[in-house]
Amino acid sequence: MESVSTARISGNMIANYVGQNVMVVGKVTQLRGETATIDANGQVHALLSRDSHLMAGNGAQIIGKVLPDLSIKVLQAMDLGNNVGMYNKGGVTASAIQLNTPLSLPE
Amino acid sequence: MSAYGGYSTTSYGAAGGEDGGGFFGGSQFGGSQGAKAVNEESLRPVTIKQIIDAEPAYAGEASFRIDGLDVKQVTFVGMVRSISPQTTNITYRLDDGTGIIEVKQWLDADKQEESRPAFREEEYVRVWGRLKSFSNKRHVGAHVIKPVKDFNEVNYHLLEAVYVHLFFTKGAPGGGSGGGGGNTTNGGANSVGGARDDSDSMFVDGGDDNSNARSLEAKVQGYSAKARKMFEYLNCAPNSGAEGHHINMIASGSGMSVGDVNEAADELLGHGTIYTTLDDETFAILDGY
């Protein structure tokens, strides 16, 4: 394909995606200045960009690059509000499609 | 909306006509063989990766197969990566985290306001459309594109795509899940989280050999006791081949009166679970779909 899609992953898969762009959906558990911790079926450490407006306790989707220390350099962040049923599902959803490789990217 | 509605009515209306107005209509004629033609026009939830990987069924024709099944109509969600308005259509590039696909929405020259999309880049949308191939490039011709208002729809859709994929590749989920698809999907999600290393057991618990019989049993959940009894008999009866079983055999074999069997047969026929074979009093299970 022309340009590469950002793989939808959960927190526990992050080690397989170093250097690639990924998409993570989860719950913001901690927000400290320019870093956030996101629970997406596994903890993800995110280095936020200046214009990302996440809220602790809300659901969030981040798109960014996985750094060698397994944190994510965020390119785009989206606040999903507090109405996303069981935030962890985002991560679980990613797990579900990844486990069924015909539906998702090859590992 | 009226001109727009005309377009989708044509396409859906034609599909309905072929099907004889019902999901099982086509199967009545050809038995299990007829199921393919019906499935082709049914709307399937997919991930974009599945669209990209769909194998062309016949050379030069806009027909594709996913998991070995012909697929034409699909629905999926994706994030809008780019919007490029053209003279005759708007081309979107959508990304759902599994792949990127082009989606074309054809413009109606009479309707000016349609040329302005109701959503922007970096927003999620849901697409209903038809798989197309043009000079070896795959795209989706959209009937409808709607912005996703509730993010839950993204997760819900992806899980539904997983569910349908597993349904076709591994059979229906085991007993106790004959209810709403939503519940089934949620249950599946939970089991993914719980048993992550054991991907094979996501929806189908127990042996795979059994899955066909289980799915048949799941189908009659919610039917009357008589209908279930008759179905059970047909399901378990020896050499229940294409000829099926006569009403008298069913009555004596299942210990019901002929009248009860008749009632049960009416119900099962109404659901499309069984069909008549040699004559109006001989029945077999419709398991072709």
Q: B268, B224 in Cβ contact below 8 A?
A: no
Answer with the residue of higher pLDDT: A63 or B1. A63
Can you read off the two tokens belonging to residue B141? 């011709």
Among B57, B97, B62, smallest CA distance to B79 is for B97
- CA nearest to A9 within chain B: B97
Give the nearest partner residue to B165 out of A83, A94, A103, using CB atoms: A103
- CA nearest to A105 within chain B: B98
Q: What is the pLDDT of residues B74-125, one digit of tens each?
A: 999 999 999 998 888 899 999 988 889 999 998 877 766 555 666 788 889 9
Query: A95–B152: do the CB atoms touch at under 8 Å?
Result: no
Q: What percent of chain A has pLDDT over 70?
A: 79
Compute the distance between CA of residue A7 and CA of residue A104 in angstroms, rounded to an integer.
8
Query: B100–A41: do the CB atoms touch at under 8 Å?
Result: no
Q: What is the pLDDT of residues A13-59, one digit of tens each?
A: 899 889 999 988 888 989 988 899 998 888 899 999 888 888 888 88
DSSP-derived letter for residue A77 is E
CA distance A59 to chain B (A): 9
Q: What is the pLDDT of residues B204-249, one digit of tens each?
A: 333 334 444 455 666 676 777 788 888 888 877 766 566 788 888 8
Q: Which helix (H) or strand (E) holds A78?
A: strand A71-81
Query: B158–A96: do the CB atoms touch at under 8 Å?
Result: yes
ipTM of the complex, rounded to two decimals:
0.81
Q: Which residues of A touch B100 (CB under 8 A)?
A: 1-5
Query: A104–B188: do the CB atoms touch at under 8 Å?
Result: no
Compute the distance between CA of residue A95 and CA of residue B131 in angstroms, rounded to an integer.
26
Q: B47, B158 in Cβ contact below 8 A?
A: yes
Query: B100–A89: do the CB atoms touch at under 8 Å?
Result: no
Query: A102–B67: do the CB atoms touch at under 8 Å?
Result: yes
Query: A104–B165: do the CB atoms touch at under 8 Å?
Result: no
Instruction: Tell me, yes or no, if A106 comes closer than 8 A to chain B by beta carbon.
Output: no
Given this model, what pLDDT does residue B255 score? Answer: 81
Q: Is the pLDDT of residue A103 over 50?
A: yes
Instruction: Tell me, yes or no, if A105 comes closer than 8 A to chain B by beta carbon.
Output: yes
Interface of B with A (CB under 8 A): 47-50, 52-53, 67, 95-100, 122, 150-152, 154-155, 158-159, 161-162, 165-166, 188-190, 192-193, 196, 199, 202
Give mean pLDDT, residues B129-142.
Answer: 87
* CB burial readout B53-88, b (16+ within 10 A) else e: bbeeeeeeeebbebbebbbbbbbbbbbbeeeeeeee
Given this model, what pLDDT does residue B187 score? Answer: 37
Q: Which residues of A touch B139 (CB under 8 A)?
A: none
Instruction: Tell me, yes or no, if A6 comes closer than 8 A to chain B by beta carbon.
Output: yes
Pairing of strands B282-285, B64-66: unpaired
Q: What is the pLDDT of residues B162-172, one digit of tens each?
A: 888 888 887 77
Query: A102–B166: do the CB atoms touch at under 8 Å?
Result: no
